[in-house]
Amino acid sequence: MSSEHVADSGVVCEVNGSTVKVEVQRGSGCKSCQMRGFCFSKNTPAVFTLSSALPLQVGDRVELDISAKDRILASLIIFVMPIAFLFGAFLVAQLFFGELISIALAFAAMALSFLIIRYFDRIFGDKFKVEIVRKIEDTTE
Q: Are 11 and 22 within 8 A, CB to CB?
A: yes
- Mean pLDDT score of the chain, rounded to an integer? 78
Please state at what angle helix 99-124 crosses helix 81-96, rounded to 10 degrees: 150
Could you tell me which residue, 83 or 134, shows the higher pLDDT?
83
Residue 102: per-residue pLDDT: 95
**107: nearest Cα among 81, 89, 91, 92:** 89
pTM of the model: 0.60
Highest average pLDDT, of 21-25, 110-114, 135-139, comes from 110-114
Could you tell me which residue, 2 or 48, shows the higher pLDDT?
48
pLDDT tens profile 11-42: 888 888 878 888 876 655 555 564 555 555 55
Distance CA 32, CA 38 (A): 13
